[in-house]
Amino acid sequence: MKKIIEIKDFTKSFGSQTAVDNLSFDVYEGDIFAFLGSNGSGKTTTIRCLLDIYTPDSGTLHLFGRPYEFSMSKDIGYLPEERGIYTRSRVIDLFVYFGNLRGISTKDALDNAHQYLERVGLIEHKDKQVSQLSSGMQQKVQVGLALQHHPRLLLLDEPFKGLDPLNRQLFIEMFKELKEQGVTIVYSTHVIDEAQRLTDRLVIINDGKRKAYGTTEEVRKTHGSEHIHLEFTGKFPKRSELYTSVSTTKTAEIIPNKGVDPEEILQELLASDLRIISFRIDLPSLNEVFIALSKDE
């Protein structure tokens, strides 16, 4: 597999604060790659150093086999975490302006903009000032600006920020289509359940240090034993002598205590005031792994 991104032994500090500590991972061509970590874990710092916005203290950060240089910008679409669009400009004018900066003709920029805005439900807002749009609409505009020049690599810092579940699903489908076209997508997110369904590979960092790296299945298998995934109605019973759990009003992820057979837990649940809709034994969810590793000091 061809490496699109190679980060090796990367460290970055701000004064006495170490933001990223000896971080290493690779991203391969055509992957959808998730960069997971809590706030302040070092995700944005890594992306900015990769793009030469910040200067690393040490380590290797390569894009397409070499350090970033301006000529690569035509092949990279970048979405910063902070919104960086001109709020007094019309939506359509932004697409033309940023398209021209990327070397796209005004006609092609307009064509690309109309196709994208139609796809994401913003075509009727194309002549409005950005300030007149909702936060979610502004996020869709900013994602579109990163996509419009058809880059080979997308670096998206919190692309789902401000989007409702329907629009998150819209972009998930778009990312899948781009993957089929050979585009490599690296994105940071806090929406862990969607990352489990979407990504090929991922890295989890905490306090600037790598905690897990690999395919989704590898990370789930390496950092946990089999869990019980339950869907139910009624009152979920707590049985600390048998298991710990993470539950909502309708679902639970049950972690058996050491030496406890899942069959024993099932019998206990059947004897309780609970109607079981589904009972499945599987690896821990990526969300459970993420929580456990983020708490780990």
pLDDT band for position 138 (50/70/90)?
A: very high
Whether 79 has a pLDDT exceeding 70, the answer reads yes
Whether 33 has a pLDDT exceeding 70, the answer reads yes
For residues 157 and 275, state if they share a domain: no
Domain termination site, one of 188, 204, 221: 221
Whether 297 has a pLDDT exceeding 70, the answer reads no
Share above pLDDT 70 across residues of the chain, in percent, rounded to a whole number? 99
Q: What is the pLDDT of residue 106?
A: 96
Whether 250 has a pLDDT exceeding 90, the answer reads yes
For residues 207 and 232, state if they share a domain: no
pLDDT band for position 296 (50/70/90)?
A: low
Q: What is the CATH number of the domain that holds 264?
A: 3.30.70
Instruction: Please tell me which residue, 189 or 151, carries the higher pLDDT value.
Output: 151
For residues 151 and 21, state if they share a domain: yes
pLDDT tens digits for range 62-76: 999 999 999 999 999
Share above pLDDT 90 across residues of the chain, in percent, rounded to a whole number? 76
Domain termination site, one of 162, 195, 221: 221
Whether 155 has a pLDDT exceeding 70, the answer reads yes
pLDDT tens digits for range 158-190: 998 888 989 999 999 999 999 999 999 999 987
Question: Could you give the number of structural domains in the chain?
Answer: 2
Q: What is the pLDDT of residue 291?
A: 87
Summary mean pLDDT of the chain: 92
For residues 63 and 200, state if they share a domain: yes
Instruction: Please compute the mean of the pLDDT values over residues 15-42 and round it to a whole number.
Output: 94
Instruction: Please compute the mean of the pLDDT values over residues 38-61 and round it to a whole number.
Output: 94
For residues 158 and 234, state if they share a domain: no
For residues 175 and 54, state if they share a domain: yes
Task: Give the 3-state secondary structure of the chain.
Answer: CCEEEEEEEEEEEECCEEEEEEEEEEEECCCEEEEECCCCCCHHHHHHHHCCCCCCCEEEEEECCECCCHHHHHHEEEECCCCCCCCCCEHHHHHHHHHHHCCCCHHHHHHHHHHHHHHCCCHHHCCCEHHHCCHHHHHHHHHHHHHCCCCCEEEEECCCCCCCHHHHHHHHHHHHHHHHCCCEEEEEECCHHHHHHHCCEEEEEECCEEEEEEEHHHHHHHCCCCEEEEEEEECCCCCCCCEEEEECCCEEEEEECCCCCHHHHHHHHHCCCEEEEEEEEECCCHHHHHHHHHHCC
Domain that holds residue 257: 225-295
Q: What pTM does this model have?
A: 0.84
Domain termination site, one of 174, 191, 221: 221
For residues 109 and 76, state if they share a domain: yes
For residues 142 and 170, state if they share a domain: yes
For residues 266 and 125, state if they share a domain: no
Q: What is the CATH number of the domain that holds 36?
A: 3.40.50.300
For residues 241 and 196, state if they share a domain: no
pLDDT band for position 200 (50/70/90)?
A: very high
Q: What is the pLDDT of residue 214?
A: 95
For residues 139 and 203, state if they share a domain: yes
For residues 99 and 174, state if they share a domain: yes
